[in-house]
Amino acid sequence: MSLLNVENIRKSYGKTEVLKDISFSLKKGEVLAIIGSSGSGKTTLLRCLNFLETPGNGKISVNDKVLFDSNDSSAKSDSEIRKRRLHFGLVFQSFNLFPQYTVIENIMLAPKLAAKEQIKQTGEYMGAKSYKEALEIIKNNAKSLLERVGLSEKSESYPCNLSGGQQQRVAIARALALNPDVLCFDEPTSALDPELTGEVLNVIRSLKTSDSTMIVVTHEIEFARDVADKIIFMADGVIAEEGTPEQVINNPQNPRTQVFLSRFN
C-alpha cells in the first residue's frame, strides 16, 4: 500500500502552466529523487505537497487520507491547512533558520507552537498533560535530533556562527522535529560550497531507513543513484521518465533524459 499518492496535479501562474498532470506514488520507507533542469517544475511540486502553493487541479493523499482535492471547493481554515502541512517536512535550499534564535530554539519552535494548539484542543501533547511537560519532551527530542545530525555541541550557537553545511544540518533536524510522514528536500546542497556538500549528503543518506520516506530534489546525480529507490526526471512541467536508478540514470529511454544526463558524464 502506498503512503503517498499524488494524482493529476496541475499548477499555473497566470497563463504559464508549471505542472502538467503530475502523478506518482511512494511506499513507506522509499526514497524518491527528482531530477531535471531549472524551471522544470520540481520546486513548485514540493511547494504544492507542503501546502505552500495550491494546485489548480489534482489530489494528494497520505495514508489513504485525502489532504487536497481540487474538486472539494469548501474553504479551509488556517488551522486545517497547518494540520495538513504537518504530514510533510521541507528542507529549503537556503536553510531559512531564524537568526535571532539559537540552534536548539530553531528546532523547538514549530513543536512548541504545535504543542500549545494540541493541548488547547485535546488536553495533551505526546502524552504530556501540560505545556511545561510538553516543553521537556520537545527539548529532549531536539537534543536527540541534533545528535543525529552530528551537531550536539552547537545547540546554544546562533546560525551566524555556523558554516553553511552546519546550518543545513540544523534545518534537517528542524524538519524532522514534527515527525513528518514525508521529508522533502529542495536542492539541499545547491547553496553550499563543494567541500560542505558531502557532509549534508551523508546526513541525508543516514536518514534512509524503513520508516523514513523522503523526496529529494537534487542535481547530485551520483547521490540520487546511490540513495533513491525511484527516480523521476521532470522536463517542462511533466514527468518525462520514471523508474529505478538503474532504469533512469543508467539506461534512460527518453531523449530529454539522455540529453540532461549527458551533462554529468
What's the pLDDT at 103?
97
Residue 77 confidence (pLDDT): 80
- Does position 201 have pLDDT exceeding 90, yes or no? yes
pLDDT computed for residue 236 by the predictor: 95
Average pLDDT, integer, range 183-198: 91
- Cα–Cα distance for residue pair 93/192, rounded to 1 Å: 9
When pLDDT is cut at 50, 70 and 90, the band that residue 8 belongs to is very high
The yes-or-no verdict on residue 83 having pLDDT over 90 is no
- What is the pLDDT averaged over residues 45-59? 95
pTM of the complete model beyond 0.85: yes
| 243-254 per-position pLDDT tens digit | 999 999 999 999
- CB neighbourhood size of 93 (10 A): 17
Q: What's the confidence (pLDDT) of residue 230?
A: 97
Share of the chain above pLDDT 90, in %: 79
Q: How confident is the model at residue 214 (pLDDT cuts 50, 70, 90)?
A: very high
Residue 122 · residue 196 · CB < 8 Å: no
Residue 210, judged by CB atoms within 10 A of its CB (0-12, 13-18, 19+), counts as exposed
Mean pLDDT of 86-103: 93
Higher pLDDT, residue 159 or 78:
159
Torsional class of 29: left (φ above 0), alpha (ψ -120 to 50), beta (otherwise):
left
CATH architecture of 2-99+184-262: 3-Layer(aba) Sandwich (3.40)
Tell me the domain boundaries of the chain.
Answer: 2-99+184-262
% of residues, the chain, pLDDT over 70: 100
Q: What is the pLDDT of residue 76?
A: 78
Evaluate if residue 167 carries a pLDDT over 90: yes
Residue whose grid cell is 513548485: 44
